[in-house]
Structure formats: C-alpha cells, structure tokens
C-alpha cells in the first residue's frame, strides 16, 4: 500500500518539499528579477532596486507560481532519482522558471 501512495502524482497546489523550495526561490528571485537586466546593462548593482513596486508585485506572483511549478517538478525528480535532494533541486528549478520569465520581461521592457 505504501508503494502505491509513493507512486501517485502530486496534486496541483499540494504541499510538499519541492513546493516550499519553489515558493522561496520564486519569491526571492522575483523580487530582484526585474532589475537584473538594467543592472547588467549599466554594470551598476544598485539598479537591482530600481523598480521596488514592480519587484514587490513580481515577488507576489513568483512565489505562488514557484509553489505550483516546484510542487509538480520536485516530487517527480525525487521519485525518479529516489532522493530528497533531487526533490529539493526539482523545486528550485520550478521556482526559477517564473524568475527567468520575469527577468526576460524586464530585459524586454528595458530594451524597447
């Protein structure tokens, strides 16, 4: 019975370690993601904080998206590689997806 429960796919929004890691990575990365492109282009680290209100909004969007995506990827990685570290890594990758999308949007907005 325990093996059949372990092989179940995670539900959308279900609480697990991958979801927690994804939410932390998504929220923290989302806070700074909009400022990454201007900071790199101008070679000025202070520009990471150029858009604080947009950064806060992106944090509020990146956290839940990281929770959802990390909660799906984390357990699948953990099951495939049969280790908790793989679940954490899958959650981090899931949390990075919204961060990368926000950073690409910030780059597009900065160049156009």
Q: How far apart are CA 41 and CA 58, in angstroms?
A: 20
Residue boundaries of the structural domains of the chain: 22-111
Tokens of 54: 């947009």
Confidence of residue 6 (pLDDT cuts 50, 70, 90): low
Of 18, 11, 36, 38, residue with least CA distance to 101: 36
Q: How far apart are CA 23 and CA 26, in angstroms?
A: 5
Confidence of residue 5 (pLDDT cuts 50, 70, 90): very low
Q: How far apart are CA 78 and CA 76, in angstroms?
A: 5
Mean pLDDT within 62-73: 96
pLDDT value at 2 more than 50: no
Write down the pLDDT at residue 14. Answer: 86
């Amino acid at each position: 019975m325990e093996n059949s429960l372990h092989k179940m796919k995670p539900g959308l929004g279900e609480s697990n370690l991958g979801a927690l890691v994804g939410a932390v990575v998504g929220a923290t990365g989302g806070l700074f993601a909009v400022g990454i492109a201007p900071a790199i282009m101008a070679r000025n680290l202070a520009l990471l904080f150029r858009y604080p209100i947009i950064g806060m909004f992106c944090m509020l969007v990146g956290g839940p998206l990281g929770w959802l995506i990390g909660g799906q990827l984390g357990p699948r990685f953990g099951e495939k590689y049969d280790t908790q570290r793989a679940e954490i890594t899958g959650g981090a990758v899931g949390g990075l997806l919204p961060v990368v999308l926000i950073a690409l949007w910030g780059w597009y907005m900065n160049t156009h």
